[in-house]
A = this chain, B = another copy of it.
Amino acid sequence: MTTTESSPTSDTMTELRRRLGQVSDLAAAEALMSWEQETSMPDEAARVRGLQLSTLAGLTHAMFTDQQTGKLLETVEPANETDGAIVRVARRDYDRATRLPTEFVEAQTQAQNEAHHAWLAARKASDFATFAPHLERMMELARREADLRGYDEHPYDALLDNYEPGMRAGTVGTIFADLRDRTLPLIRRIAAAGDAADYSVLTRPFPAEAQKAFAWKIAGEAFGLEGSFARQDESAHPFMTNFSRSDLRITTRVEPYWPACLFGTWHETGHAMYERGVSGRWERTPVSGGASLGVHESQSRLFENLLARSLPFWNRYFSQLAEAAPEVTAGLDAAGLYRAVNRVNPSMIRVEADEVTYNFHIMLRFELELALLEGKLKVADLPEAWNAKMQDYLGLTPPDDAQGVLQDVHWSAGLIGYFPTYALGNLLSVQLLEAAQADAKIAGGSQNAEYGPLLSWLTENVHQYGRSLTPTQITEQATGRPLSADPYVAYLHRKYGEIYGLEGSRR
């Protein structure tokens, strides 16, 4: 492979790109059908839509894993860097997609469907026992998948690699241990400090349409998400999806607890601006999209927490909030609002957790997944192990399994090795922001909630590469060092030490 960008593209490369373009188009159609199902589809359409989605998924997979794709990938000689990255990523995807026999994938899909239905019923009845055999099966399949995919150190690595290419369970374990040891004392000190703040502001009346409109307006003004290439819709569970870098969709949910809509929108905005920033040269190729779930989450968390839960942000946007929701802001100022949306409150439920306690929900799940996969923990003993760790980390015992071990959908969907990416994203968000703020202009911008320079830095150092660099490459190239818990731990101590008036919290 030469690196001359101007070399003529071979016929094989042209044919490969045509084929990958078609695969990308089919995947986009499936994504659009899914998005539409969640946002606007009439109820009765669900059954046939399920069949349509299944056909599209099957055809996309069949076209990509076709021997013809394999032959092209084997013989192609990319003539420039762009094509080189496309071939590299496509080869990796092809290898991964064809390594699992069709029979295995079908068995896995069926078991997941059954497990998902069992989980819905089990959570409703808070009855872990009826879900247990399905979780056993999920773990068996996960072990077998790890064997089929292959790994050097630990079977968990093969699963983690589905979501965080190149990451190892050993690395995650080391980083998490450090994070745990240095954050637990902070939680204890915050608990000891007491909390006299008034959080009733967070459920003051804020009309649904006004919530959505304010969240969307600020997503544009502060973070650059515009209606010319993006849409906001409502769905039961917020998500971001996209069908090209100029076709981004975020969804939101409106609740009496209005921060769910606002911060949820800005979270999805972070995901969307990542996809927006991916270079156009990866259009309709497997290189488009984010480098990993963790890197994606770093962007959503950066926007949601590091920016939108900062004091400069509310100094700038408080007056607009007051205009949009006068009942919410009555008697309040920017500092008061900042204080209210930064409550540290250990709770049972992961998705409701604050910046300080969130990662403990992840560490707990990671440790339990590892023990289950290794066979050191029996599925039958899982609820007890869950509750014990919850007590250790957050001082709480779930009143029932619905609010404990059964709360998340992931395991019922066979997503083993997925959870760590949430915490890795949190850690990376601060590491990236601090690297960016080494530039005085970006640091100054953040102090005035002027995020243009920061967004340019993120596009240049993270977004543009799509999947052409690994998460590790992006992290080291952008921040000058491997992923570490240091920046996040320091950030927590700095921010919450000040909020809770803790002495010597800076470390």
Chain A residues at the B interface, C-beta cutoff of 8 Å: 21-22, 25-26, 28-30, 32-33, 36, 40-45, 47-49, 51-52, 55-56, 58-59, 227-231, 243-244, 246-248, 283-284
**Please, which residues of chain B bring their CB within 8 A of the CB of A283?**
48
* Residues A26 and B228 in contact in the complex (CB < 8 Å), given A45-B246, A52-B243: no
Interface centre among A45, A229, A284 (most CB of B within 10 A): A45
Q: What is the distance, in angstroms, from A246's C-beta to the closest C-beta of chain B? A: 4
In the assembled complex, the Cα of A44 lies from the Cα of B283 at a distance in Å of 14
Q: Which of B25, B45, B55 contacts A52 (CB 8 A)?
A: B25
Q: What is the distance, in angstroms, from A170's C-beta to the closest C-beta of chain B? A: 41
Contact A21 B246, beta carbon cutoff 8 Å: no
With A28-B48, A42-B227, A48-B284 known, 17 other A-B pairs at CB within 8 A are A21-B51, A21-B55, A25-B56, A26-B55, A26-B59, A32-B32, A40-B231, A42-B231, A42-B246, A43-B228, A44-B247, A45-B243, A47-B246, A48-B243, A48-B283, A49-B244, A49-B247
Contact B33 A52, beta carbon cutoff 8 Å: no
Q: List 24 A-B contacts (CB under 8 A).
A: A22-B55, A25-B52, A25-B55, A26-B55, A26-B56, A28-B48, A28-B52, A29-B30, A29-B52, A29-B56, A32-B36, A40-B231, A41-B247, A42-B248, A43-B229, A44-B228, A44-B246, A45-B229, A45-B243, A47-B246, A48-B247, A48-B283, A52-B243, A59-B59
In the assembled complex, the Cα of A41 lies from the Cα of B247 at a distance in Å of 7
Chain A binding site: helix, strand, loop or mixed by DSSP? helix
In the assembled complex, the Cα of A52 lies from the Cα of B284 at a distance in Å of 9
Q: Which of B33, B51, B244 contacts A32 (CB 8 A)?
A: B33
In the assembled complex, the Cα of A36 lies from the Cα of B28 at a distance in Å of 13
In the assembled complex, the Cα of A56 lies from the Cα of B26 at a distance in Å of 7
* Residues A45 and B284 in contact in the complex (CB < 8 Å), given A32-B36, A52-B29: no
Q: What is the distance, in angstroms, from A280's C-beta to the closest C-beta of chain B? A: 10
* Residues A22 and B244 in contact in the complex (CB < 8 Å), given A30-B29, A48-B283: no
In the assembled complex, the Cα of A246 lies from the Cα of B45 at a distance in Å of 5
**Please, which residues of chain B bring their CB within 8 A of the CB of A227?**
42
In the assembled complex, the Cα of A337 lies from the Cα of B22 at a distance in Å of 53
Interface centre among A29, A32, A229 (most CB of B within 10 A): A29
In the assembled complex, the Cα of A473 lies from the Cα of B47 at a distance in Å of 32
A-B residue pairs, 3 tightest by C-beta: A45-B247, A25-B55, A48-B244
Interface centre among A40, A231, A246, A283 (most CB of B within 10 A): A246
Q: What is the distance, in angstroms, from A316's C-beta to the closest C-beta of chain B? A: 26
**Please, which residues of chain B bring their CB within 8 A of the CB of A56?**
25-26, 29
**Please, which residues of chain B bring their CB within 8 A of the CB of A26?**
55-56, 59
Contact B44 A229, beta carbon cutoff 8 Å: yes
**Please, which residues of chain B bring their CB within 8 A of the CB of A33?**
29, 32
Nearest-neighbor residue (CB-CB) of A42 within chain B: B229
**Please, which residues of chain B bring their CB within 8 A of the CB of A45?**
229, 243-244, 246-247
**Please, which residues of chain B bring their CB within 8 A of the CB of A29?**
29-30, 32-33, 52, 56
Contact A243 B55, beta carbon cutoff 8 Å: no
Q: What is the distance, in angstroms, from A63's C-beta to the closest C-beta of chain B? A: 8
**Please, which residues of chain B bring their CB within 8 A of the CB of A25?**
51-52, 55-56
In the assembled complex, the Cα of A262 lies from the Cα of B407 at a distance in Å of 48
Nearest-neighbor residue (CB-CB) of A63 within chain B: B59
Interface centre among A36, A43, A229 (most CB of B within 10 A): A36
Interface centre among A22, A33, A48, A51 (most CB of B within 10 A): A48
Nearest-neighbor residue (CB-CB) of A245 within chain B: B48
**Please, which residues of chain B bring their CB within 8 A of the CB of A48?**
28, 243-244, 246-247, 283-284
In the assembled complex, the Cα of A130 lies from the Cα of B56 at a distance in Å of 43
**Please, which residues of chain B bring their CB within 8 A of the CB of A41?**
247
In the assembled complex, the Cα of A43 lies from the Cα of B227 at a distance in Å of 8
Nearest-neighbor residue (CB-CB) of A227 within chain B: B42
